[in-house]
């Protein structure tokens, strides 16, 4: 069952040794993701995308604001929220299947049960024959599939993805985008997906939130009402892409909504 995610008035300030004594990453971020919706965040490097996902996942403290799931504040390290990290963050000393099952192990699921569930994900993710390989023996695309499988096997209802395809070549990236859409269509998770890549955001998302440079704010929201599978270079995709790129390159003064 997918949940509604509401990021409400999130402020984040880091203490710093700069003359001001503080770095304000966000002054105020508000963003709502409907149940089962796929929302992407794009924004310049260093604007705070990873910080925002880590705050939503409960891995990073916020200065103020609230994270709501179906209208109630999320719990600390809420199990209903899963995160796929910017680097794969796999454990090099564990095989693929043992990386996939680690969350279930931490939850205390008995070995046989968690192994059979993890093997199901090995099959769904096209990793047959690689279950017993170590991360260094896997390609980038395979490592990324292991990382996504590891998050999804724990059955979260909100999935946060931090540039999951950022380090892949464009063909592998395109294939994994389609793969992710197939999995999402079946699971109907609520997804908050961070990317640098505007093409990727337009191809995947129902909505796109554009962040301004630090202190970041949501400076534009775009609805992508295109049928899937999408034409990556169709006129409507091109139009949305152009508007987002213009917004990203514009000096930021006040929020704009489309
Ligand atoms: N622990 C910390 N202490 C102080 N400042 C921090 C800390 N962690 C992150 N920052 C600062 O917060 C800002 C946001 O960082 P973050 O990694 O969230 O950006 P990002 O948008 O994910 O960047 P990228 O696109 O390069 O991944 C950066 O300016 C960074 O220097
Ligand atoms: Mg980041």
Residue nearest to atom 6 of ligand 1 (CA): 14
Q: How far is the CA of 16 from the centre of ligand 1 (A)?
A: 12
- Are 58 and 166 in the same domain? yes
180 and 219 belong to one structural domain: yes
Residues 116 and 25 in one domain: no
Ligand 1 nearest atom to the CA of residue 15, by list position: 4
| C-alpha–C-alpha distance, residues 150 and 80, integer Å | 14
Compute the distance from residue 135 Cα to the ligand 2 centre, in Å.
22
Same domain, 97 and 178: no
Both 103 and 128 in a single domain? yes
**What is the C-alpha to C-alpha distance for residues 196 and 163, in angstroms, rounded to an integer?**
7
Do 148 and 64 reside in the same domain of the chain?
Answer: no
In a mutational test of the pocket of ligand 1, which residue from 10, 51, 162 has the highest number of ligand atoms less than 8 Å from its CB?
51
CB 25 within 8 A of CB 48: yes
Asked whether 73 and 66 are in contact (CB, 8 A), the reply is: yes
Pair (136, 223) in one structural domain:
no
> Are 168 and 70 members of one domain?
yes
Mutational test site, ligand 1, from 47, 86, 194, max ligand atoms within 8 Å of CB: 47
Task: Tell the residue nearest (CA) to atom 18 of ligand 1.
Answer: 48
pLDDT 10s per residue in the chain (258 long)?
Answer: 789 999 999 999 999 888 888 999 999 999 999 999 999 999 999 999 999 999 999 999 999 999 999 999 998 889 999 999 988 889 999 999 999 999 999 999 999 999 999 999 999 999 999 999 999 999 999 999 999 999 999 999 999 999 999 988 999 999 999 999 999 999 999 999 999 999 999 999 999 999 999 899 999 999 999 999 999 999 999 999 999 999 999 876 555 544
Q: How far is CA 38 from the centre of its chain?
A: 10
- Residue whose Cα lies nearest atom 17 of ligand 1: it is 50
Tell me how far apart the alpha carbons of residues 252 and 258 are, in angstroms, rounded to a whole number.
Answer: 16
* End-of-domain residue from the set 155, 190, 213: 155
- CATH code (residue 9): 3.40.50.300
What residues contact residue 16 under an 8 Å CB cut-off, 6+ apart? Answer: 22, 23
Residues 176 and 236 in one domain: yes
- What separation in Å is there between the alpha carbon of 55 and the centre of ligand 2? 13
Same domain for 208 and 234? yes
- Token pair listed for 95: 């095989």
| Structural domains counted in the chain | 2
Residue with the nearest Cα to atom 3 of ligand 1?
Answer: 14
Domain identity same for 67 and 174: yes
Which of 106, 134, 155 is the C-terminal boundary of a domain? Answer: 155
Candidate from 18, 49, 89, 165 with most ligand 1 atoms within 8 A of CB, to mutate: 49
Same domain, 68 and 178: yes
Length of the chain, in residues: 258
Q: Among 140, 155, 170, which residue terminates a domain? A: 155
Q: Which domain holds residue 92?
A: 81-155
């Amino acid at each position: 069952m997918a949940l509604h995610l509401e990021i409400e008035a999130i402020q984040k300030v880091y203490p710093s040794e700069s003359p001001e004594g503080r770095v304000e990453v966000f002054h105020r971020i508000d963003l709502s993701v409907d149940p089962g919706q796929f929302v992407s965040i794009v924004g310049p490097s260093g604007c705070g995308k990873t910080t925002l996902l880590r705050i939503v996942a409960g891995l990073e403290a916020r200065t103020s604001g609230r994270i709501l799931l179906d209208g109630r504040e999320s719990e600390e390290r809420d199990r209903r929220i899963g995160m796929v990290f910017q680097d794969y963050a796999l454990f090099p000393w564990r095989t693929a299947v043992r990386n996939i099952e680690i969350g279930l192990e931490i939850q205390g699921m008995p070995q046989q049960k968690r192994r059979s569930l993890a093997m199901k994900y090995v099959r769904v993710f096209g990793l047959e024959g690689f279950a017993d390989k170590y991360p260094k023996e896997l390609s980038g695309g395979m490592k990324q599939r292991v990382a996504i499988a590891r998050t999804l096997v724990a059955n979260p209802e909100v999935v946060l993805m931090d540039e999951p395809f950022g380090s892949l070549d464009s063909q592998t990236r395109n294939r994994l985008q389609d793969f992710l859409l197939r999995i999402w269509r079946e699971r109907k998770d609520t997804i908050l997906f961070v990317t640098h890549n505007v093409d990727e955001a337009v191809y995947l998302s129902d909505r796109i939130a554009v962040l301004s440079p630090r202190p970041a704010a949501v400076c534009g929201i775009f609805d992508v009402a295109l049928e899937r599978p999408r034409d990556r270079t169709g006129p409507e995709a091109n139009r949305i892409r152009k508007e987002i790129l213009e917004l990203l390159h514009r000096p930021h003064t006040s929020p704009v909504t489309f």
